[in-house]
């Protein structure tokens, strides 16, 4: 059985070098100190020619070993999305064109998600349209907040409107958390390394991504764009655990939305593990949303799982549900085949 994984990443040395030069001018001293930890890690992955820069035989060999038939690729951290102005527009276009070339070399193994210059929402919407219509891309991945601003701000609406118009999904990916939150919540009687992990991939940026998606719901984004679909990584970034709590405490007569919170989580979101092959969250998402709302992912190469297929195949799913999660849902959501 084929397996499609939908949240897999790559980076380019050429793009990363330009990003570093352009981004440096925008950072405050505190942001620079925090960014140095993440950037050092990412730069090492890029400079050493690690798996994140390979879009050819090394990646294909991993996919074959892990049982992955198709990867849907998106640009990793240090993304042109984080930049301001026309520089973001130009570099995002370059990143997308580079990814298109890689997909052309292996059209049966790779599909692309666009990198968007969100600081220029109209340009971002135009780039999404270009990549979908001209390059055959299947949606876009958004790297968390932009310059510590959540995307529920009305100025970003052209991006969501265009995604709905084109019928392609978006993913809100975790990104760097706000600096005041970092200091208040995660700095303490432990090392900076513990702080960086705790505030990042250990927990912090997942919570922020969950809050981000909840803010989109509460802002009425899905009332304005009811056909819009978002992919929620890491089993929903904590939101499924609070589904009933949110419904109980944020009823429609308080939020003035068209529906309760659970409605949007069940109708406008798909859920994916992002390499978190953990039974508990998987069962929770199956219980709340059903197999028809789950798509598979490894989060390669930030996470490398050799059991991408084996874990899913041995989970004990009914054949119909296994086929849905392994490939059928992704084919429907991303318009593959």
State the catalytic residues: 299
Bond prior to 183 in cis (omega within 30° of 0)? no
Maximum distance among all Cα pairs of the chain, rounded to whole angstroms: 55
The full length of the chain comes to 337
* C-alpha span between 101 and 89 (Å, rounded): 19
From CA 67, how far away is CA 60, in angstroms rounded? 10
Separation CA 212–CA 52 (nearest Å): 26
The residue whose two tokens read 């959501």 is 333
Distance between CA atoms of 75 and 10, rounded to whole angstroms?
Answer: 5
| DSSP per position, 258-327 | SS-HHHHHHHSEEE--TT---HHHHHHHHHHH-GGGB-B---TTTS--TTHHHHHHTS---HHHHHIIII
Q: What is the DSSP string of 63-116?
A: HHHHT--EEEEEE-SS-GGG--HHHHHHHHHHHHHHHHHHHHHSTTTEEE-B--
Q: Which residues contact 243 (CB under 8 A, 6 or more apart)?
A: 261, 262, 265, 288
Query: Which residue carries 């940026």 as its tokens?
Result: 205
């Amino acid at each position: 059985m084929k397996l499609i994984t939908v949240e897999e990443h790559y980076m380019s040395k050429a793009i990363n070098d330009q990003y570093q030069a352009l981004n440096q001018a925008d950072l405050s001293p505190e942001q620079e100190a925090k960014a140095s930890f993440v950037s050092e890690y990412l730069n090492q992955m890029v400079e050493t020619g690690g798996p994140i820069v390979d879009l050819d035989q090394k990646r294909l060999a991993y996919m074959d070993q892990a049982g992955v038939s198709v990867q849907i690729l998106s640009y990793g951290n240090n993304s042109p999305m984080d930049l301001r102005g026309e520089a973001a527009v130009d570099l995002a276009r370059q990143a997308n064109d580079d990814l298109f070339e890689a997909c052309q070399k292996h059209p049966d193994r790779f599909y692309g998600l666009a990198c968007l210059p969100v600081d220029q929402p109209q340009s971002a919407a135009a780039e999404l349209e270009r990549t979908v219509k001209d390059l055959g891309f299947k949606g876009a991945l958004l790297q968390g907040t932009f310059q510590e601003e959540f995307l529920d701000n009305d100025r970003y609406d052209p991006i969501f409107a265009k995604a709905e118009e084109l019928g392609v999904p978006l993913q809100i990916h975790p990104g760097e958390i706000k600096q005041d939150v970092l200091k208040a919540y995660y700095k303490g009687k432990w090392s900076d390394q513990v702080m960086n992990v705790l505030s990042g991939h250990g927990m912090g940026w997942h919570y922020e991504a969950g809050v981000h998606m909840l803010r989109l719901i509460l802002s009425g984004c899905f009332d304005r764009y009811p056909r819009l679909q978002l992919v929620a990584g890491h089993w929903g970034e904590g939101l499924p655990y609070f589904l009933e709590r949110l419904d109980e405490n944020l009823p429609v007569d308080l939020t003035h939305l068209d529906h309760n919170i659970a409605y949007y989580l069940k109708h406008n979101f798909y859920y994916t593990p992002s390499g978190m092959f953990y039974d508990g969250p998987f069962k929770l998402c199956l219980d709340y949303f059903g197999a028809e709302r789950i798509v598979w992912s490894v989060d390669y190469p930030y996470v490398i799982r050799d059991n991408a297929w084996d874990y899913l195949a041995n989970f004990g799913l009914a054949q119909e549900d296994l086929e849905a999660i392994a490939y059928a849902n992704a084919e429907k959501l991303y318009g593959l085949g």
